[in-house]
């Protein structure tokens, strides 16, 4: 690769100045979520409190939309609180908030609209913490795994409120199940990297899929009934889209204002494959990263509009995740091919784009963006086709206990496609 | 074997691959594992890094060590067959020295601080 591509034209203060801007941007995201949530709750703390109680007590396995269960306001307050907790955890452990940390914060916030809440995430985090302690490492070493690992939060809620264990033992069962899931997730996640080789951005979702499958298989073996549940709000874009558009536009403006080289750096960023680890703030500065995040926010929103998606918790969560990972591997050129592949596959199959699973696949299929970035748009498009067909089937394995179902499916697509694409590339290279 | 030693070996492998892909065919790697800090030296006497490559390597290592990235994603270092990914190395180790001399070729020295932080006896 041409070394000239890797020139860095940072804002005057370098990484330290970038870190301050990232911190402010993250805090503004938290405040925007909380502000929007309280506004939509009529600034009534009782409405927020009652909504949060519903969110904590309801089942959380895929797909339970907190906007449908508790309303738009409490769902966004829940997202703001958990984004604040993730940011606080990163600050307390002294972690530099760069690409992966930004992706983690936005992902936690996004999934707090449909599955994560202040009760069910902490046992997973503590489980990872215990593993790290046993491994004799500082907790900050595994903080990214801990934050993404909250994909398994439904295990905690299911054991606590879903399978009929009497009070107060239900809470204990939930906490113990969460601790165990968090503990075993780290080694499984490291192993999963070997399989996907960095071409599935939601790698911990892939690993969590295995932990969820083992848990679900054990429950099924003993005929333990799950609470299940399905909630999906069918809202139009009017209430949420202006808020999102304003936020994404502000990201673009701040990116351009903070770094005069944001645009040329963005052109360099667009040439990357996006394969793990593509830490965009570290490589291209925060200006280009914020610009990319804002652009991807608009791209995701426009695609959701074009596909006629419902503007509810899961869809907005998908857009937040898309934006977060635009600091860590995604950009319009590598994300669009798999997303268009999903749209094509949904149109060609009986699943259709109106199915909730297809709408989520559209937004989360950008987990396979590195395939398009490394092997070209056709490979990315095919990855999207495969992704949709898999994503509608693999959920049964873990029964919805892994919130990152698209990461589970994406891992399988990457694991299958990448060795074949490598073989084709090697064969072409050696052809006379 | 502790994680810090493993990570440093991955860095050595990745840099050796980088030099091989650039054209070097004589690459030597040596390690010095200490109690507090370990070192890795890579030398390619038959290859001179040009200015652009030197700048790239210096920039990769200009950022801080990021153990939260290195301990998890560090497993990807050395995994690619068709290209190097030295950007990841900047999160895993520090650049101690980069020398390019006529006759001596290219020499790169990395170091990594031991981070296991408790226990009377360290794991080996």
A264 and A406 in a single domain? The answer is: yes
- Give the tens place of pLDDT for each residue, A320-342: 999 999 999 999 999 999 999 99
Domain formed by B3-112, architecture: 2-Layer Sandwich (3.30)
A95 near B CB under 8 A: yes
CA–CA separation, A377 and A375 (whole Å): 7
Asked whether A163 and A227 are in contact (CB, 8 A), the reply is: yes
Flag if A6 and B71 touch (Cβ within 8 Å). Answer: no
- Give the tens place of pLDDT for each residue, A74-104: 999 999 999 999 999 999 998 888 899 999 9
Residue A233 lies in a domain: no
A35 and A173 in a single domain? The answer is: yes
The alpha carbon of residue A140 is apart from the nearest alpha carbon of chain B, in Å, by 6
Decide which of A188, A221, A254 is a domain's last residue. A221
Residue-wise DSSP of A40-80: HTTT-HHHHHHHHHHHHHS--SSSB-HHHHH-HHHHHHHHH
Nearest Cβ partner for A279 among B62, B69, B81: B69
Flag if B59 and A189 touch (Cβ within 8 Å). Answer: no
Nearest Cβ partner for B71 among A137, A276, A278: A137
Nearest Cβ partner for B53 among A3, A143, A194: A3
What's chain B's Rg over C-alpha atoms? 14
Residue A90 lies in a domain: yes
Closest chain A residue by Cα to residue B90: A282
pLDDT of residue A116: 95
Domain boundaries, chain B: 3-112
Phi, psi of A308 (to 5 degrees): 70, 35
Flag if B73 and A100 touch (Cβ within 8 Å). Answer: yes
Q: Name every chain B residue with its beta carbon within 8 A of the beta carbon of A8.
A: 59, 62
Nearest to A147 by CA among A108, A181, A116, A180: A108
State which residues form the domain around A160.
11-221
A343 and A422 in a single domain? The answer is: yes
A286 and A339 in a single domain? The answer is: yes
Query: In a 10 Å sphere around its CB, with 0-12 CB exposed, 13-18 middle and 19+ buried, how is residue A429 labelled?
Result: exposed
pLDDT of residue A57: 87
The alpha carbon of residue B98 is apart from the nearest alpha carbon of chain A, in Å, by 17
Flag if B55 and A95 touch (Cβ within 8 Å). Answer: no
Phi, psi of B43 (to 5 degrees): -130, 140
A364 and A420 in a single domain? The answer is: yes
The alpha carbon of residue B8 is apart from the nearest alpha carbon of chain A, in Å, by 16
CA–CA separation, A42 and A107 (whole Å): 26
- Give the tens place of pLDDT for each residue, A346-356: 999 999 999 99
pLDDT of residue A14: 61
Residue A236 lies in a domain: no
- Give the tens place of pLDDT for each residue, A387-403: 999 999 999 999 899 99
Nearest Cβ partner for A276 among B60, B73, B118: B73
Q: At what angle do helices A332-348 and A280-306 cross, to 10 degrees?
A: 30
The pair of structure tokens assigned to A9 is: 């034209």
Closest chain B residue by Cα to residue A139: B68
CA–CA separation, A208 and A251 (whole Å): 31
Q: Name every chain B residue with its beta carbon within 8 A of the beta carbon of A275.
A: 85
Question: Residue B48: pLDDT above 50?
Answer: yes
CA–CA separation, A18 and A211 (whole Å): 36
A141 and A253 in a single domain? The answer is: no
A283 near B CB under 8 A: yes
- Give the tens place of pLDDT for each residue, B72-123: 888 888 776 666 678 889 899 999 999 999 888 999 999 998 766 655 455 5
CA–CA separation, A117 and A122 (whole Å): 9
What's chain A's Rg over C-alpha atoms? 20
CB pairs under 8 A between A and B: 97
CA–CA separation, A412 and A373 (whole Å): 18
Q: Name every chain B residue with its beta carbon within 8 A of the beta carbon of A193.
A: 72-73, 75-76
A390 and A262 in a single domain? The answer is: yes
Task: Please name the residues in contact with A251: beta carbons below 8 A apart, sequence gap of 6 or more.
Answer: A25, A290, A291, A293, A294, A297, A323
- Determine what percent of chain B is predicted with pLDDT higher than 90: 40
pLDDT band at A17 (very low <50, low <70, confident <90, very high): confident
Flag if A95 and B52 touch (Cβ within 8 Å). Answer: no
Flag if B68 and A101 touch (Cβ within 8 Å). Answer: yes
Residue-wise DSSP of A92-137: HTT----HHHHHHHHHHHHHTTTT--TTTSHHHHHHHHHHHHHTT-
CA–CA separation, A305 and A76 (whole Å): 21
Question: Higher confidence at residue A205 or residue B36?
Answer: A205
A203 and A319 in a single domain? The answer is: no
Task: Please name the residues in contact with A169: beta carbons below 8 A apart, sequence gap of 6 or more.
Answer: none
Asked whether B104 and B29 are in contact (CB, 8 A), the reply is: no
CA–CA separation, A313 and A398 (whole Å): 21
Flag if A138 and B117 touch (Cβ within 8 Å). Answer: yes
Residues of B engaging A, defined by a Cβ cutoff of 8 Å: 3, 52-53, 55-56, 59-60, 62-64, 66-73, 75-76, 79-83, 85, 87-88, 90-91, 115-119, 123
Count of domains observed in chain A:
2
A257 and A161 in a single domain? The answer is: no
Task: Please name the residues in contact with A156: beta carbons below 8 A apart, sequence gap of 6 or more.
Answer: A119, A120, A121, A123, A124, A174, A175, A177, A178, A181
Q: Name every chain A residue with its beta carbon within 8 A of the beta carbon of B21.
A: none
Question: Residue A13: pLDDT above 60?
Answer: no
The alpha carbon of residue B13 is apart from the nearest alpha carbon of chain A, in Å, by 16
Residue-wise DSSP of A409-432: HHHHHHHHHHHHHHHHHHHHHH--
Nearest Cβ partner for B68 among A7, A144, A189: A144
Residue B115 DSSP SS3: coil
A183 and A275 in a single domain? The answer is: no
pLDDT band at A145 (very low <50, low <70, confident <90, very high): very high
A28 and A74 in a single domain? The answer is: yes
Q: Within 13 Å of residue B38, how many CA atoms lie on the same side as its CB?
A: 22
How many other β-carbons are positioned within 10 Å of the β-carbon of residue B84? 20
CA–CA separation, A290 and A110 (whole Å): 18
Average pLDDT over residues A29-49: 95
Nearest Cβ partner for A8 among B59, B68, B119: B59
Task: Please name the residues in contact with A305: beta carbons below 8 A apart, sequence gap of 6 or more.
Answer: A237, A241
A32 and A170 in a single domain? The answer is: yes
CA–CA separation, A147 and A403 (whole Å): 13
Residue-wise DSSP of A319-386: HHHHHHGGGTT--HHHHHHHHHHHHHHHHHSTT-TTSHHHHHHHHHGGGGHHHHHHH-HHHHHHHHHH
């Amino acid at each position: 690769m041409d070394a000239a591509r890797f020139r860095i034209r940072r804002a005057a203060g370098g990484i330290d100045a970038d870190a301050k801007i990232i911190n402010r941007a993250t805090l503004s995201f938290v405040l925007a979520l909380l502000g929007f949530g309280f506004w939509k709750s009529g600034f009534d703390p009782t409405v927020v409190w009652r909504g949060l109680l519903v969110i904590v007590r309801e089942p959380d396995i895929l797909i339970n939309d907190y906007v449908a269960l508790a309303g738009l306001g409490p769902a966004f307050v829940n997202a703001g609180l958990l984004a604040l907790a993730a940011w606080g955890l990163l600050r307390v452990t002294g972690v530099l908030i760069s690409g992966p940390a930004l992706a983690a914060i936005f992902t936690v916030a996004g999934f707090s609209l449909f599955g994560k809440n202040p009760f069910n995430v902490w046992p997973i985090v503590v489980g990872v913490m215990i593993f790290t302690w046993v491994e004799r490492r500082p907790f900050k070493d595994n903080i990214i795994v801990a934050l993404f690992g909250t994909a398994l939060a439904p295990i905690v809620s299911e054991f606590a409120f879903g399978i009929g264990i009497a009070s107060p033992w239900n809470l204990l069962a939930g906490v113990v199940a969460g601790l165990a899931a968090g503990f075993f997730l780290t080694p499984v996640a490291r192993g999963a990297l070997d399989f996907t080789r960095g071409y599935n951005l939601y790698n911990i979702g892939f690993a969590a899929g295995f932990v969820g499958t083992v848990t679900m298989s054990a429950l099924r073996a003993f005929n333990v009934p799950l609470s299940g549940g399905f909630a999906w709000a069918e809202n139009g874009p009017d209430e949420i889209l202006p808020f999102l558009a304003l936020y994404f536009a502000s990201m673009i403006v701040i990116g351009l204002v903070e770094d005069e080289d944001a645009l040329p750096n963005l052109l360099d960023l667009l040439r990357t494959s996006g394969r793990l680890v593509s830490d965009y703030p570290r490589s291209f500065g925060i200006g280009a990263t914020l610009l990319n995040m804002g652009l991807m926010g608009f791209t995701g929103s426009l695609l959701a509009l074009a596909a006629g998606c419902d503007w509810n918790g899961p869809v907005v969560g998908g857009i937040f995740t898309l934006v977060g990972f635009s600091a860590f591997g995604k950009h319009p050129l590598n994300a669009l091919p798999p997303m268009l592949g999903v749209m094509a596959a949904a149109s060609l199959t009986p699943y259709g784009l109106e199915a909730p699973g297809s709408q989520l696949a559209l937004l989360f299929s950008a987990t396979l963006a590195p395939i398009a970035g490394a092997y070209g748009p056709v490979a990315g498009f095919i990855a999207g086709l495969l992704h949709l067909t898999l994503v509608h089937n693999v959920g049964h394995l873990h029964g919805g206990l892994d919130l990152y179902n698209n990461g589970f499916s994406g891992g399988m697509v990457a694991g299958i496609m990448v060795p074949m694409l490598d073989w084709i590339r090697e064969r072409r290279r050696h052809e006379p | 074997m502790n994680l810090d030693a493993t990570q440093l070996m991955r860095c050595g492998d990745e840099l050796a691959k980088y030099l091989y892909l650039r054209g070097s065919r004589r690459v030597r790697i040596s390690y010095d594992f200490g109690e507090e800090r370990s070192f890795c030296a890579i030398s390619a006497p038959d290859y001179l890094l040009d200015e652009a490559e030197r700048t790239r390597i210096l920039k990769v290592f200009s950022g801080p060590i990021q153990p939260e990235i290195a301990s998890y994603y560090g497993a990807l270092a050395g995994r690619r067959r068709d290209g190097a990914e030295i950007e990841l190395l900047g999160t895993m180790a520090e650049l101690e020295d980069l020398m390019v001399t006529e006759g001596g070729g290219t020499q790169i020295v990395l170091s990594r601080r031991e981070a296991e932080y408790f226990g009377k006896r360290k794991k080996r």
